[in-house]
């Protein structure tokens, strides 16, 4: 194993980190687009992702004894994953369905969510131990923590299931506010 800390080696390691960050961040976004059936954009990002991967892996594979390059490659991958998740959360609009089932305070939870601007549908149901209120709300992905906080403050032991809503048409959405 070789640890070369010359200025050229350090600059090359920084370039390698940047290539991996871009490669992995683009890969994360591409996977999101694939799951949303956005074929053309996902395919275009795949070209860029593959090019960046080829450039970065080629640089590392030529000299596997270079510790600095290996560390840069691995570190860039880790940072790229983190940045990809930030990009997804902030810039890609996705909707989540929050399902809440509770035997107590269901209507009060619904009122609190509505007071914070979230649309909620209430349904009465029958659970294992009797009557329950089932609440369903479609919210932006970034609003899920706030919704969970509201529910948790009102009914700590409420059953909550969150799932991705692949397509959303019409209705009440807090940030959109264009009910049809």
Q: What is the pTM of this model?
A: 0.57
Is there a contact between 110 and 144 (Cβ–Cβ < 8 Å)?
no
CA dihedral 141, 147, 161, 28 (to 10 degrees): 20
CB 134 within 8 A of CB 122: yes
Tens digit of each residue's pLDDT, the chain (180 residues): 777 788 888 998 999 999 999 999 889 888 888 877 889 999 999 999 999 999 888 888 888 888 898 999 999 999 998 888 888 777 667 789 999 999 999 999 999 999 999 999 999 999 988 999 999 999 988 899 999 999 999 999 999 999 988 777 777 666 544 333
**DSSP state letter for 103:** S
Q: Which of 107, 101, 99 is nearest to 158 (CA)?
A: 101
pLDDT for the residue 95: 87
pLDDT at 177: 45
What number of other Cβ atoms are within 10 A of residue 125's Cβ?
11
């Amino acid at each position: 194993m070789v640890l070369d800390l010359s200025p050229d080696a350090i600059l090359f390691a920084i370039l390698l980190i940047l290539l991996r960050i871009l490669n992995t961040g683009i890969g994360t976004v591409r996977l999101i687009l694939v799951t949303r059936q956005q074929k053309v954009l996902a395919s275009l990002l795949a070209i860029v992702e593959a090019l960046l991967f080829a450039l970065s892996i080629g640089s590392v594979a030529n000299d596997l004894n270079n510790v600095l390059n290996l560390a840069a490659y691995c570190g860039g991958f880790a940072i790229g994953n983190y940045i990809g998740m930030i990009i997804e959360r902030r810039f890609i609009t996705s909707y989540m369905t929050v399902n809440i089932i509770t035997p107590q305070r269901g209507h009060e939870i619904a009122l609190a969510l509505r007071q914070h601007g979230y649309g909620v549908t209430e349904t009465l149901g029958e659970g294992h131990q009797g009557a329950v209120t089932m609440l369903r709300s479609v919210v932006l992905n970034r609003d899920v923590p706030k919704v969970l906080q509201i529910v948790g403050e009102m009914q700590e032991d409420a059953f909550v299931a969150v799932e991705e809503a692949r397509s959303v048409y019409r209705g009440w959405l807090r940030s959109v506010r264009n009910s049809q």
